[in-house]
Amino acid sequence: DVKVTQSSRYLVKRTGEKVFLECVQDMDHENMFWYRQDPGLGLRLIYFSYDVKMKEKGDIPEGYSVSREKKERFSLILESASTNQTSMYLCAAGPTGFGGNTEAFFGQGTRLTVV
Amino acid sequence: EDQVTQSPEALRLQEGESSSLNCSYTVSGLRGLFWYRQDPGKGPEFLFTLYSAGEEKEKERLKATLTKKESFLHITAPKPEDSATYLCAVQATKGAQKLVFGQGTRLTINP
């Protein structure tokens, strides 16, 4: 019954490293999202994509980029990891116009620690 | 700007003690209001979507209701396994199809 899969549950990276977080969905949904979740700040949108090769900035895109070469895969890239990017990263997928008897499904999350 | 505020931040109940969680929102036009449950270290799990004022949805011990300004998640006779963080989010009719989340309510049910 897996719908959204994130490549890693836990990740530890060094400051300055380039980091790739991968997300794959098996629902054939058009929209995919990357959020980060921090205590006291809730879920904040980093980037989203509404179609292959299309992307839009969310609320906190600085220090991140994304790639969507195939419909089922949405990658989040930390160009040069910094300690303030230590967080829980959550990927979600939903159909176009979702909200009409549909919903966005989330992956299990990736806990990233930058040291 | 679309905003979601959840209260209380944390709530402790005894098993069987019913209560309600609040989600207040401001949005240009509401496409949908979502409730999720999140267990520690895991991704949010979808519970309900509500679309219009007056709508109600139920799932086991949970019932979600919606007005034009807020939503309530009512928990009836909760059990310890209902302990989790409950997240509320809104999706606007205009602009991008993103979800705007509240900060969540951390619910603890003591046996």
In this prediction, residue A102 carries a pLDDT of 61
Strand, helix or coil for residue A85: helix
Residue B78 has pLDDT above 60, yes or no: yes
Q: Which two tokens stand for residue A104?
A: 């966005």
Q: Which of residues 48-87 of B touch A (CB under 8 A)?
A: 49, 51, 87
pLDDT tens-digit series, residues A38-50: 988 889 999 999 8
Q: What pLDDT was estimated at residue B95?
A: 66
Confidence of residue B17 (pLDDT cuts 50, 70, 90): very high
Domain that holds residue B7: 3-110
Q: Contact B34/A40, CB-based, under 8 Å? A: no
Can you give the CATH number for the domain in which B73 is found? Answer: 2.60.40.10
How do the residues of chain B divide into helix, strand and coil, expressed in percent and rounded to 5?
5, 60, 40
Nearest to residue A4, comparing CAs of A89, A64, A112, A61? Answer: A89
> Are B46 and A41 inside 8 Å of each other by CB?
no
Q: DSSP class of residue B80?
A: G
Phi first, then psi, for residue A103 (nearest 5°) are: -150, 165
Q: Does B43 touch chain A (CB under 8 A)?
A: yes
Domains of chain A: 4-114 (2.60.40.10)
Query: Could you read off the pLDDT of B29-65 as tens digits, one per residue?
Result: 888 899 999 999 899 999 989 989 999 999 999 999 9
Q: How many domains does one find in chain B?
A: 1
Q: Calculate mean pLDDT across residues A10-34.
A: 94
Strand pairing class (A56-57; B62-66): unpaired
CB contact under 8 A, B96 and A48: yes
- CB–CB contact B98 A107 (8 Å): no
Name which of A96, A103, A108 is nearest B43 (Cβ-Cβ): A108
